[in-house]
């Protein structure tokens, strides 16, 4: 006989969540969701709270991205849920298995004008894989299981459930949920063989690997495939660091020559979107390897597009036994371009200038970051530089907002990262504009003893908007911030610490102090507002 669980809706939800490996919730208080808090409080399930609901969803997303298991945000009815929609949308674009549990005005008097009465489901349906209202207390475990199964099935993504007040507060005695069963998407073996043949026989093949390779736990299989077929690998998103920086097939700087000259480009686990020039690589044939048929590109013609579990597909590529072209000359040529790019970067990262240029900040940061440090980008130009100058040494350590490009992920992602890794360096690279979205959560981090380092590239402008607007119109509006502001003092006022840096020689010691501080610490670096990230193409 199935084991029974008994309790109010909060107890039932938590029992189901635990079965799927959820170990904490991120939330901002509201009476509609009290039973979820009660269940957590009684059973020692950690609750982390924030100052804006979007930080709760971003924190849950960081947990989902870093740990490849569901992240949970609990949001109160109405504005709690609507404040979380940018977070849900980011999770949707990033294939992050986030579950948002929302409170909901009582069903029994729906339409009478209860506080915060709104039907959330139509609002969140377009940006979730599963969205439903739970109509009875006894249905809670089954609905949580359905939502999490959808979230964890490739192509992964967020799910949403809302729980009417009386459904969550009532008690029931129901069967405990069984062990999770996540379906594996089987690729078509013909297509996989076709892809393997194309790559093995190409003269100048390139692999670009993205977030789903990490999310699908296929990093080792990617490496095996690249090594077996001898193909240079570029990465983006959570794929960064998939091959360690010193690996003979790991490339970052030679992207332009690689994509201009390649005859076959395999894009694995990432969409053919603006980050990849929409999948047009000159004369190259494109192999698009995706984790589910829904992810095949509709806007560009591909040579072949195997869809299914990336571990299975990449293992098949590694085991391909047909004819292979020799790629060593191609790899050597790219290595020369890579080395030249690295030398240029090293020069920029060491350059003295007054005011400081962002490149120098990353030069100093690289000296103090441990190989397993988690770095988080939240901003415009300052984060483009982070993407260029920081080289994650391990996969699953770089968090960017992804193709939805939502500013404001910073401190939410930092909270999720700190909860995931209590002892690693966690470092947010933040624009001064981006700081406005989440800096208040320095209070949440300080109060809950979650130290992180925040490095603000403070150019006094919305740089990524001001420079293009100047170039386009010869003037700019709505692109200025107050120059020289002391964002470090904001964090000090909220229970953390920090300092302002104006000279490049002061950067190193300031960063050392920041990582040793044991409290949220903001290093406010005044940078050159005239410096603009060079954007000559949408491959940036
Ligand atoms: C929520 C949201 N609002 C607006 C934008 C548009 N946007 C993209 S980058 C950017 C400027 C960011 O400025 P800052 O954080 O100071 O970084 P900087 O470019 O100055 O280095 C803006 C406004 C966005 N991506 N997301
Ligand atoms: Mg700025």
Q: Per residue in 301-340, pLDDT tens? A: 999 999 999 999 999 999 999 899 999 999 999 999 999 9
pLDDT digits (tens, 9 = 90+) for 353-389: 999 999 999 999 999 999 999 999 999 999 999 999 9
Q: Is the CB of 463 under 6 A from ligand 1?
A: yes
pLDDT the model gives residue 177:
81
Following DSSP, what letter does each residue of 218-279 receive, concatenated?
A: -HHHHHHHHHHHT--EEE-GGGTTSS-TTSTTB-STTHHHHHHH-SEEEEESS-SSGGGGGG
Closest ligand 1 atom to residue 380 Cα is 19
Say if residue 540's pLDDT is above 80. no
Compute the mean pLDDT over every residue in the chain, rounded to the nearest whole number.
Answer: 97
Neighbours of ion ligand 2 (CB under 5 A): 431-433, 459, 463
**SS3 labels along 308-357:** CCHHHHHHHHHCCCCCCCCCHHHHHHHHHHHHHHHHHHHHHHHCCCCCEC
Q: Is the CB of 432 under 6 A from ligand 1?
A: yes
DSSP one-letter code for 186: P
Residues 152, 17, 77, 437, CA torsion sign: negative
DSSP bridge partners of 480: 461
DSSP one-letter code for 521: E
Q: Is the CB of 408 under 6 A from ligand 1?
A: yes
Q: Is the CB of 441 under 6 A from ligand 1?
A: no
pLDDT digits (tens, 9 = 90+) for 439-466: 999 999 999 999 999 999 999 999 999 9
Q: Is the CB of 459 under 6 A from ligand 1?
A: yes
Rounded-to-integer distance, Cα 44 and Cα 156, Å? 29
Say if residue 37's pLDDT is above 80. yes
Q: Which ligand is nearest to the CA of 379?
A: 1
pLDDT digits (tens, 9 = 90+) for 102-152: 999 999 999 999 999 999 999 999 999 999 999 999 999 999 999 999 999
Q: Which ligand is nearest to the CA of 466?
A: 1
Q: Is the CB of 17 under 6 A from ligand 1?
A: no
Q: Is the CB of 58 under 6 A from ligand 1?
A: no
Reduced to 3 states (helix: H, G, I; strand: E, B; else coil), residue 382 is helix
pLDDT digits (tens, 9 = 90+) for 150-175: 999 999 999 999 999 999 999 999 99
| Mutation pick for ligand 1 pocket among 463, 487, 525, 530 (CB with most ligand atoms within 8 Å) | 463
Measured in angstroms, how far is the CA atom of residue 462 from the centroid of ligand 2? 4
Measured in angstroms, how far is the CA atom of residue 359 from the centroid of ligand 1? 18
Following DSSP, what letter does each residue of 468-516 receive, concatenated?
A: HHHHHHSS-SS-B--TT--HHHHHHHTT-EEEEE-SGGGHHHHHHHHHH
Measured in angstroms, how far is the CA atom of residue 208 from the centroid of ligand 2? 30
Say if residue 536's pLDDT is above 80. no
Rounded-to-integer distance, Cα 408 and Cα 438, Å? 6
DSSP one-letter code for 81: H
499: left (phi over 0), alpha (psi -120 to 50) or beta: beta
494-521 mean pLDDT: 98
Measured in angstroms, how far is the CA atom of residue 378 from the centroid of ligand 1? 8
C-alpha closest to that of 387 among 530, 253, 525: 253
C-alpha closest to that of 467 among 533, 537, 407: 533
502-520 mean pLDDT: 98
Measured in angstroms, how far is the CA atom of residue 31 from the centroid of ligand 1? 34
pLDDT digits (tens, 9 = 90+) for 247-262: 999 999 999 999 999 9
Closest ligand 1 atom to residue 437 Cα is 1
Measured in angstroms, how far is the CA atom of residue 511 from the centroid of ligand 1? 24
Closest ligand 1 atom to residue 435 Cα is 15
Residue with CA closest to ligand 1 atom 2: 407
Percent of the chain with pLDDT over 90: 97
Residue with CA closest to ligand 1 atom 5: 407
Closest ligand 1 atom to residue 405 Cα is 25
Say if residue 539's pLDDT is above 60. no
Say if residue 72's pLDDT is above 90. yes
* Dihedral pair phi/psi, residue 130, rounded to 5°: -155, 130
The DSSP H or E segment spanning 455 is strand 453-458
- Whether the Cβ atoms of residue 417 and residue 397 lie closer than 8 Å to each other: no
Rounded-to-integer distance, Cα 120 and Cα 160, Å? 9
Please confirm whether the linkage preceding 355 is cis (ω < 30° from 0).
yes
For the entire predicted model, the pTM comes to 0.98
387-398 mean pLDDT: 96
């Amino acid at each position: 006989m199935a084991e029974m669980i008994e309790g109010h809706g909060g107890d039932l939800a938590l029992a189901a969540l635990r079965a799927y490996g959820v170990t904490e919730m991120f939330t901002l208080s509201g009476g509609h969701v009290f039973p979820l808090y009660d269940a957590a409080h009684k059973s020692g399930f950690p609750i982390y709270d924030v100052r804006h609901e979007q930080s709760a969803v971003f924190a849950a997303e960081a947990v989902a991205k870093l740990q490849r298991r569901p992240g949970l945000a609990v949001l109160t009815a109405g504005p709690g849920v609507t404040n979380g929609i940018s977070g849900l949308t980011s999770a949707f674009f990033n294939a992050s298995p986030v579950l948002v549990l929302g409170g909901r005005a009582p069903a029994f008097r729906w339409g009478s004008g209860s506080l915060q009465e709104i039907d959330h489901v139509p609002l969140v349906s377009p940006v979730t894989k599963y969205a439903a209202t739970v109509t009875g207390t006894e249905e809670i475990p089954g609905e949580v299981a359905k939502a999490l199964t959808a979230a964890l099935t490739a192509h992964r993504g967020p799910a949403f459930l809302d729980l009417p007040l009386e459904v969550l507060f009532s008690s029931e005695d129901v069967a405990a949920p069984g062990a999770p069963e996540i379906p594996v998407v089987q690729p078509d073996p013909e297509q996989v063989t076709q892809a393997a043949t194309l790559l093995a026989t190409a003269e100048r093949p390139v692999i670009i690997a993205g977030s789903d390779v990490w999310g699908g736990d296929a990093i080792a299989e990617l490496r095996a495939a690249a090594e077996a077929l001898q193909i240079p690998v570029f990465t983006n998103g959570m794929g960064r660091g998939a091959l360690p920086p010193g690996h003979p097939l790991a490339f970052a700087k030679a992207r332009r020559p690689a994509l201009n000259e390649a005859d076959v480009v395999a894009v694995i686990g990432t969409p053919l979107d603006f980050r990849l020039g929409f999948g047009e690589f000159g004369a190259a044939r494109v192999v698009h390897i995706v984790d589910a048929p829904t992810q095949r590109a509709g806007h560009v013609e591909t040579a072949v597009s195997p869809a299914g579990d990336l571990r299975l597909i990449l293992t098949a590529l590694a085991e391909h036994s047909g004819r292979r072209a020799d790629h060593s000359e191609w790899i050597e040529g790219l290595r020369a371009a890579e080395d030249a790019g690295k030398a240029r970067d090293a020069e920029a990262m060491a350059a003295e200038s007054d005011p400081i240029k962002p490149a120098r900040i990353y030069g100093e940061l690289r000296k103090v970051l441990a190989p397993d440090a988690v770095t988080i980008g939240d901003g415009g130009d300052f984060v483009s530089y982070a993407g260029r100058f920081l080289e994650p040494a391990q996969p699953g350590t770089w968090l960017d907002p992804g193709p939805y490009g939502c500013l404001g992920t910073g401190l939410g992602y930092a909270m999720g990262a700190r909860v995931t890794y209590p002892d690693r360096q966690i470092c947010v690279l933040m624009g001064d504009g981006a700081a406005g979205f989440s800096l208040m959560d320095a209070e949440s981090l300080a109060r809950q003893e979650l130290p992180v380092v925040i490095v603000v590239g403070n150019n006094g402008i919305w740089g990524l908007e001001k420079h293009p607007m100047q170039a386009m119109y010869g003037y700019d509006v709505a692109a200025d911030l107050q120059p020289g502001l002391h964002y470090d003092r904001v964090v000090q006022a909220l229970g953390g610490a920090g300092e302002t840096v104006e000279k490049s020689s002061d950067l190193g010691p300031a960063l050392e102090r920041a990582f040793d501080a044991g409290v949220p610490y903001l290093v406010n670096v005044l940078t050159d507002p005239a410096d603009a990230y060079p954007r000559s193409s949408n491959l940036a």
